[in-house]
Structure 1
Amino acid sequence: MEPSSSNTGFFQELPELPNQFHDDVSFQRVLKLLIPEDLRRQVEPELAQLGEDVLAPHIFDLVTDAERNLPYLRGGGRTALGRPTSELVTGEGWRGLQAFGMERGIVAYNYTADHAAYGAHARVLQMLRFHLWEASAASTTCPGAMTDGATRLLQRHLSKTSSLSADSVQRKVLQNAFDRLTSRDPKRAWTSGQWMTERPGGSDVSQTETVATFVGDNAGGVDSDGLPLGPWSVDGFKWFSSATDAGMTILLARTQPNKGLSAFFAPMRRKRDANAPVTQVTAGSSRRPDHTELNGVRIQRLKDKSGTRPVPTAELELKGMRAWMIGDEGNGIREIATVLAITRVHCSIACLGLAGRALGVAKAYSLKRTISGEAGGRSRLLLYRSPLHMQTLADLTGDYHGLMLLTLYTAHVMGLEERQVATGTGKSLTDPPAALVAPLLRALSSLHKAYVCKQSVPLLHAVCMEALGGVGYLMNTETEALNMARLFRDGTVNAIWEGTTDVLSTDLLRTLTHRKAGKASLDALEWLVKTAVGQSEAAAALLLQAFAALRARIEKGPTDILLADARAILFAAAEILIAGLMVADAHSDKSPAAEAMAQRFLLKKSFLGKESDAAKAAAAATVEQRLASDTAIVYGPGGPNVQQAARL
């Protein structure tokens, strides 16, 4: 026997991280379910190339740099002689990853003429691209989400001729901002902030203390592009603002004591007097060649967070920030809802993008790692041949698949609502009646985000860390593609951002019990369940009965009891919808693996009892049969490619 040393003995072979576009069974099934075949064939080459490009070694080098060289305030926010400054410095990795996303049009995809022919499908395809990019993006998708929401808000207002005349100054300002948000040139492109959170209320924006005062256009100055700054002057303190390096922001502020909140657009920079003292600058030279300064913003301090560490999240003091009102005065909550509906989908996509990458690593690791073949035996067995390990991965894959279906279906409905293209037939899952699109989206918006992001936390832990043992707990920056700990830390925040689980559960309940709109949302959800399970008589009876019971509970229950049970109600609704979507997906091509996932979910969530045929069949299956089914769920019907090379 020879003892091991630091350089001799056993070394685990590194797994090869495959292109997720090809490797992720759920990604492929969702693409097939929601995108017509002709369009799917058109976009597949580009999606496959993106899946390859996000795994390039230089991308992982940028990720490592972004994690090591975190944003900071030069001098702690002061010059050497004590003058206050707001010079934010971001690292090369962060800037490089942002540039990659901009060049690939990760946000612009849904808005530019290049993809106009995709119609309502552009939104789902955009989210699938975010999904592939997420785990390699080092959280640059966080400002990407807010940029997406702000772009949609500006697009909606620019399409209205009633509120913005063709020759108005505000239209020119908003159009310029829209053009920057959708630019693929990193030197011109903007990201956007979304400033709502304040110290008194957190997710409860009703306690907002920021105040906007109308001061008119005189001596308002101009932004970095020479366009007039807005006629409103905003003062206040935003306690949690991501994307501090953005080019613009959307924020909420009060205008009158009893008027409610209003929404505002503000550029982040304005032209300054070239001879004035420098008090506000951003990363780079202390005197920028364009002679600009921050637009009435002072960075109080940067937040030190558990995850998403490269994102420059800050406390901001606003003093005389010039802004333009978006929409009607006092209608800010409704305006910001446009942004939130989109950023909430991004939260779910972020979780699923991280989980999808982690599953890819766990699957590849199972093709390289060996364990004892039997209790006390000396034979070795690859992990993917272990019935227990494969059952665990199959269960996790089924959970992931259900969350993918719910999230991407929500994105599909969002695309229909944005393009207003529903035909109204209601005969197909992808073609809901036109009258139900808006109420369906209202319900799904809170429902999917709360459920998916909350359920993703244990999923990420099991896949990111536990499936790799102790290796999964390490930061692994020396092999960034195996840094599962980073994925776990970054994913957990999504259950908090854009509304905690309890806040969103309350939102959903208010939507479903609303005096006027509640019935329409319940009708829309019922249509979804009926249509999803329409081809499966057994599942239809079970899920429609479950939904009918839940609907009766919502319509007849005392308000105080319903509010106390809001989380349980949201989870029950989400699981009925996921079950229906999994049944529909399985029926679409009669895939044995998809049918097995649907049956397992129905059993796991007690839609099927222990005496059901499915439960009896599962109990009677041999170990070999179970292993074959689990392997098909995890790796697809073709099984794993055990000849994958070690090339990380």
Structure 2
Amino acid sequence: MQVRPFNQPAPRLGNQYDEDRVLRSVLARRFGGEVPAAVAEPLREMGRLAGGELYQAQLDDRLNEPRLVQWDAWGNRVDAIELSPLWRRAERLAAEYGLVATGYEPGHGALARTVQFALVHLFHPSTDLYSCPLAMTDGAARTLLESGNQALIERAVPHLTSRDPARFWTSGQWMTESTGGSDVGASETVAQRDGERWRLWGRKWFTSAATSQMALTLARPEGNGPGGRGLALFYVETRDDAGRLDGIEVLRLKDKLGTRKVPTAELVLDGTPAVAVAGESDGIRRIVPMLTLTRTWNSVCAASFMRRGVALAMDYARRREAFGRPLARQPLHVQTLAAMQAEYEAAFHLCFELIHLLGRAEHGEAGEDERALLRLMTALTKLTTGKQAVAVSTEAIECFGGAGYVEDTGLPVIVRDAQVLPIWEGTTNVLSLELLKACGDGVSLEVLRRRLARCARAGTDDRLVAAASVANAAADRALAWYRRAAESGPEALQAQARGFALTLGRATALALMCEHAQWSLDHEQDARARAAALAFATTRIDLLDAIEPDDAKLLVE
């Protein structure tokens, strides 16, 4: 008798807009109860592409990675980077759907950023990290607009925000050198004046998306002092009129754990022509608008990766039978999936609160308190969601058992790519220290505390009121710790900065979940957002407890 072998079913994705209740609910709330057709239609189309054509292309093209061709057949140095078909397709779609442009167009007012990042949320996990150059492009456009350099604004911004693929440019962000990624002030790149322009000399250790048409980079004009104040921000167009790299050599592509589809290169600037963006010093201060945007993109991509892992795991649970019934009907597995969904919803609410503040600030609608909250939330959201993405993506592939560990299922890449999110745009520790600076005398913390209190006051459901009290208790403890530690000096603050930051991040996420859940109960008669808030409230929100400083020193000596 022939025995027919059992094969596990592959997970499938449907329209990622229609299937993402959280995204649709938050958009409905922002738009006063219903998502306008002009907003919903392109999102639904992007959701169809993300769950269909693009996802399948990603699976089919799994092994195709960027390739550096340094020399042509006749011995000429060309440094050509060959990209995958999906990356080329993603570039065109990004322009046509306005993945950057939407944030700068007037149609949606202060909600332009909300619509833009809803598109990003759908686009990101199916396009092999093409969100990376888009994030830097968005950051470059905002930085140039805020620089006041009219010549550069007129030259570059129409390209960076174009919907025409033939005109669309992406921008690099060349900051990292071998002296350190976070210690930007230690940059060794030198700028020499050459008439009206400058020429740059140095080595950029880690430049993501090295195929961009332009870049913003830091260099130290000759004669300037050390540290961040001595650096200036420069604008570079990467190719000359003949299409050749202009004073730039590509030494190699980086061999990375993840984000392997992103052409990350090590470059030498060998007299690269450049233009000073805004003066000849204070370059680090000039890149703050860029970091605000790239950290927001990083946060949204973290939530988006979490959503992808959860979507695949849930679909698989409905198809895979074990011990006589589907995984989706096994109580322990249901608990696991529910916890993953709750973490995703927490991350999503953090992201879209940040995005709402960003949109209001850019359109002149944010008051002083909201601007202070935006500064806090940028670091808070990025560091919190980065850690969540790694945890949830790891849990997601475990839901597939051994299949999650097998490369040709396309599942392991979720973990590898998510691992970059706590690193890019500032590690968890670096952002925790930046958060301390943003807290200053504690005024901005009081603004955050009032926002959380407002979330609590929105609740009328008894269980949501109780969950909101968990968030507020954790935030109160964090603020009390901050006041005590500030009196003890910077060493005491730094020692527990990570626990402080993550406590505030998770407390804020829980409060926002409770606020939205009450709205969803009242306006959508949907209890699922409440279930997510209650589930998240059972997790560890207060992470302030840390190793005693003396014990920590003993352990690392």
Aligned residue for 1:214? Answer: 193
Aligned residue for 2:546? Answer: none
Q: Decide which of 111, 117, 138 is 1:121's aligned counterpart.
A: 111
Task: Give distance in 1, aligned partners of 2:528 and 2:78.
Answer: 59
Residue 250 of structure 1 aligns to a residue whose secondary structure is: strand
Q: Decide which of 142, 146, 167 is 2:136's aligned counterpart.
A: 146
Does 2:155 correspond to 1:176? yes
Aligned residue for 1:332? Answer: 283
My pick for the range that moved more, 532-541 or 495-504, is: 532-541
Pairwise CA distance, 1:548: 2.9
Pairwise mapping of residues 14-413 of structure 1 onto structure 2 (< 5 A)? 14-37=10-33, 40-57=36-53, 59-60=54-55, 62-64=57-59, 67-74=62-69, 77-79=70-72, 84-112=77-105, 116-157=106-147, 160=148, 164=149, 171-217=150-196, 231-255=197-221, 256-258=223-225, 259-271=229-241, 291-372=242-323, 380-413=324-357
1:499 is aligned with what amino acid?
G
Does 2:471 correspond to 1:501? no
Residue 305 of structure 2 aligns to a residue whose secondary structure is: helix
Does 2:422 correspond to 1:452? no
Pairwise mapping of residues 592-603 of structure 1 onto structure 2 (< 5 A)? 592-603=527-538
Task: Give distance in 2, aligned partners of 1:307 and 1:350.
Answer: 14
1:107 is aligned with what amino acid?
V
Aligned residue for 1:510? Answer: 437
Task: Give distance in 1, aligned partners of 2:14 and 2:509.
Answer: 28
Q: Against the structure 1 CA distance between its residues 66 and 585, is the aligned structure 2 distance closer, same or farther, given a 3 Å change threshold?
A: same
Pairwise CA distance, 1:105: 1.5
Q: Against the structure 1 CA distance between its residues 31 and 38, is the aligned structure 2 distance closer, same or farther, given a 3 Å change threshold?
A: closer
Task: Give distance in 2, aligned partners of 1:14 and 1:564.
Answer: 46
Task: Give distance in 2, aligned partners of 1:450 and 1:540.
Answer: 22
Task: Give distance in 2, aligned partners of 1:294 and 1:85.
Answer: 8
Kindly indicate whether the alpha-carbon contact (under 8 Å) linking 2:309 and 2:392 is maintained by their aligned counterparts in 1.
no
Q: Against the structure 1 CA distance between its residues 578 and 315, is the aligned structure 2 distance closer, same or farther, given a 3 Å change threshold?
A: same
Kindly indicate whether the alpha-carbon contact (under 8 Å) linking 1:446 and 1:504 is maintained by their aligned counterparts in 2.
yes
* Superimposed CA distance per residue, residues 148-175 of structure 1 (whole angstroms, 9 cap, x where no aligned partner): 1111112323xx4xxx4xxxxxx34432
Task: Give distance in 2, aligned partners of 1:542 and 1:470.
Answer: 37
Runs of 4+ with deviation above 6 angstroms: none
Task: Give distance in 1, aligned partners of 2:472 and 2:268.
Answer: 52
Pairwise CA distance, 1:519: 3.2
Task: Give distance in 2, aligned partners of 1:240 and 1:488.
Answer: 21
Kindly indicate whether the alpha-carbon contact (under 8 Å) linking 1:195 and 1:250 is maintained by their aligned counterparts in 2.
yes
Pairwise CA distance, 1:551: 1.6
* Superimposed CA distance per residue, residues 109-168 of structure 1 (whole angstroms, 9 cap, x where no aligned partner): 1113xxx131111111111111111111111111111111111112323xx4xxx4xxxx
1:237 is aligned with what amino acid?
R
Which TM-score applies when normalising by structure 1?
0.77
Kindly indicate whether the alpha-carbon contact (under 8 Å) linking 2:291 and 2:425 is maintained by their aligned counterparts in 1.
yes
Q: Against the structure 1 CA distance between its residues 54 and 592, is the aligned structure 2 distance closer, same or farther, given a 3 Å change threshold?
A: closer
Kindly indicate whether the alpha-carbon contact (under 8 Å) linking 1:15 and 1:361 is maintained by their aligned counterparts in 2.
yes
Aligned residue for 1:604? Answer: 539
Aligned residue for 1:485? Answer: 412
Pairwise CA distance, 1:15: 4.2
Kindly indicate whether the alpha-carbon contact (under 8 Å) linking 2:471 and 2:541 is maintained by their aligned counterparts in 1.
no
Which TM-score applies when normalising by structure 2?
0.90
Aligned residue for 1:284? Answer: none
Q: Decide which of 359, 363, 369 is 1:419's aligned counterpart.
A: 363
Residue 437 of structure 1 aligns to a residue whose secondary structure is: helix
Q: Against the structure 1 CA distance between its residues 364 and 301, is the aligned structure 2 distance closer, same or farther, given a 3 Å change threshold?
A: same
1:233 is aligned with what amino acid?
R
Q: Against the structure 1 CA distance between its residues 540 and 94, is the aligned structure 2 distance closer, same or farther, given a 3 Å change threshold?
A: closer
Pairwise CA distance, 1:312: 0.9
Aligned residue for 1:550? Answer: 478
1:268 is aligned with what amino acid?
T
Task: Give distance in 1, aligned partners of 2:491 and 2:116.
Answer: 40
Pairwise CA distance, 1:311: 1.0
* Superimposed CA distance per residue, residues 56-83 of structure 1 (whole angstroms, 9 cap, x where no aligned partner): 33x3454356543322222xx2455655
Paired residues in the alignment total 526
Residue 317 of structure 1 aligns to a residue whose secondary structure is: strand
Pairwise CA distance, 1:94: 2.1
Residue 138 of structure 1 aligns to a residue whose secondary structure is: coil
Task: Give distance in 2, aligned partners of 1:368 and 1:17.
Answer: 13
Pairwise CA distance, 1:553: 1.8
CA-atom RMSD in angstroms: 2.1
Kindly indicate whether the alpha-carbon contact (under 8 Å) linking 1:62 and 1:96 is maintained by their aligned counterparts in 2.
no
Pairwise CA distance, 1:267: 0.9
Gap regions ≥5 residues in structure 2: 460-464, 543-557
Q: Against the structure 1 CA distance between its residues 88 and 65, is the aligned structure 2 distance closer, same or farther, given a 3 Å change threshold?
A: farther
* Superimposed CA distance per residue, residues 473-520 of structure 1 (whole angstroms, 9 cap, x where no aligned partner): 2223xxxxx5221222111111111111111111111211x2xxx433
Gap regions ≥5 residues in structure 1: 165-170, 218-230, 272-290, 373-379, 423-433, 477-481, 608-648
Task: Give distance in 2, aligned partners of 1:544 and 1:366.
Answer: 35
Residue 363 of structure 1 aligns to a residue whose secondary structure is: helix
Q: Decide which of 567, 570, 579 is 2:510's aligned counterpart.
A: 579
Q: Against the structure 1 CA distance between its residues 462 and 543, is the aligned structure 2 distance closer, same or farther, given a 3 Å change threshold?
A: closer
Task: Give distance in 2, aligned partners of 1:402 and 1:214.
Answer: 49
1:341 is aligned with what amino acid?
T
Residue 130 of structure 1 aligns to a residue whose secondary structure is: helix
Q: Against the structure 1 CA distance between its residues 438 and 66, is the aligned structure 2 distance closer, same or farther, given a 3 Å change threshold?
A: farther
Pairwise CA distance, 1:566: 0.7
Task: Give distance in 2, aligned partners of 1:67 and 1:370.
Answer: 27
Q: Against the structure 1 CA distance between its residues 12 and 96, is the aligned structure 2 distance closer, same or farther, given a 3 Å change threshold?
A: same
Kindly indicate whether the alpha-carbon contact (under 8 Å) linking 2:218 and 2:232 is maintained by their aligned counterparts in 1.
yes
Task: Give distance in 1, aligned partners of 2:44 and 2:82.
Answer: 34
My pick for the range that moved more, 136-145 or 61-70, is: 61-70
Pairwise CA distance, 1:181: 1.1
1:137 is aligned with what amino acid?
T
Pairwise CA distance, 1:41: 4.8
Task: Give distance in 2, aligned partners of 1:30 and 1:383.
Answer: 29
Pairwise CA distance, 1:542: 4.7
2:449 is aligned with what amino acid?
E
Does 2:460 correspond to 1:531? no
* Superimposed CA distance per residue, residues 37-65 of structure 1 (whole angstroms, 9 cap, x where no aligned partner): 355454122211210122333x3454356
Task: Give distance in 1, aligned partners of 2:92 and 2:437.
Answer: 40
Aligned residue for 1:461? Answer: 394
Residue 135 of structure 1 aligns to a residue whose secondary structure is: helix
